[in-house]
Amino acid sequence: MGAIIVLLFPLLIISILKEEWYPLFFRLAQLWSRGILFGMGFLTKIKRDQSFKKGESYMLVANHTSMTDIMLMLVVAKNPFVFVGKKELSKIPLFGFFYKRTCILVDRDSPKSRLAVYERAQKRLNQGLSICIFPEGLVPEDESIVLADFKDGAFRLAIEHQIPIVPMTFYDNKKRHSYTFFSGSPGVMRAKVHEFIPTAGFTVDDKKAIRDKAWDVIYKELTKGNN
């Protein structure tokens, strides 16, 4: 992780000097992610039921089981997006330097922080970017949990901005690189981009139904017998 950041460091520094240069940073982050996954012995296989449209904003959601979810999301998504993620990752050397300058950080124990996250996400959406939120909030400590309950934030934002929700299933990240020490192995990381869930015409009163629909899509895919 550190070696690739050092290699790209001059370009990464330039790309974060101005907020409007974020798309350049995003492309560099995609390059970094591919290098990380390949260097760890992971190949990616992606199936798409629907494709992204250039210049469109989306709300990206997926199951959250591994640190590699960040890298795989950057490989899967085509349009520049901003992560909403926990502030603790900003403490990682080198990675954290760029993480806290480009992502929307949240302290889940602070209501004030959660409100600030909401406002920053709205600003990014207004700039034409997409947002990625792992709606489970945290990686479940119990690895037997297939998919934890989703929180409302991602779906409320998507409805208020009338942007499609893009549910994704990450099949193998827990098996390949879970949070259990000395677990995992090299191999293929598969992902599926499901049909987008439209929010046009819906109101925040509909957020629970849309949230549950996204959860059902991912859960059913994770529990299919052929996975």
Write the pLDDT tens digit of every residue in 76-124: 999 999 999 888 878 887 778 888 889 998 877 777 777 788 888 889 9
Residue 137's pLDDT band, with cuts at 50, 70 and 90, is: confident
Which H/E stretch holds residue 48? strand 42-48
pLDDT digits (tens, 9 = 90+) for 27-73: 999 999 999 999 899 999 999 999 999 999 999 999 998 989 999 99
pLDDT at 16 over 60: yes
Supply the DSSP symbol for 151. P
pLDDT at 226 over 60: no
Residue 11 has phi, psi (to 5 degrees) of: -70, -40
Give the distance from CA 132 to its chain's centroid. 4
pLDDT at site 148: 95
Q: Which two tokens stand for residue 80?
A: 């520049």
pLDDT at site 221: 97
Percent of the chain whose predicted confidence (pLDDT) is above 70: 97
Calculated CA dihedral for residues 122, 89, 164, 126, nearest 10 degrees: 20
Structural domains of the chain sorted by starting position, each given as residue range(s) with its CATH number in brackets: 41-222 (3.40.1130.10)
Q: Which two tokens stand for residue 73?
A: 């999301």
pLDDT at site 26: 96
Q: Which two tokens stand for residue 220?
A: 């059913």
Cβ neighbours of residue 42 under 8 Å, at least 6 residues apart?
Answer: 68, 176, 177, 186, 187, 188, 189
DSSP string, 165-193: EEEEEE-SHHHHS-SSTT---SEEEEEEE
| Beta strand pairing call for 187-193 and 165-170 | antiparallel
Judge whether 191 and 68 are in contact, CB under 8 Å.
Answer: no
pLDDT digits (tens, 9 = 90+) for 161-215: 999 999 999 999 999 998 777 788 999 999 999 999 999 999 999 999 999 999 9
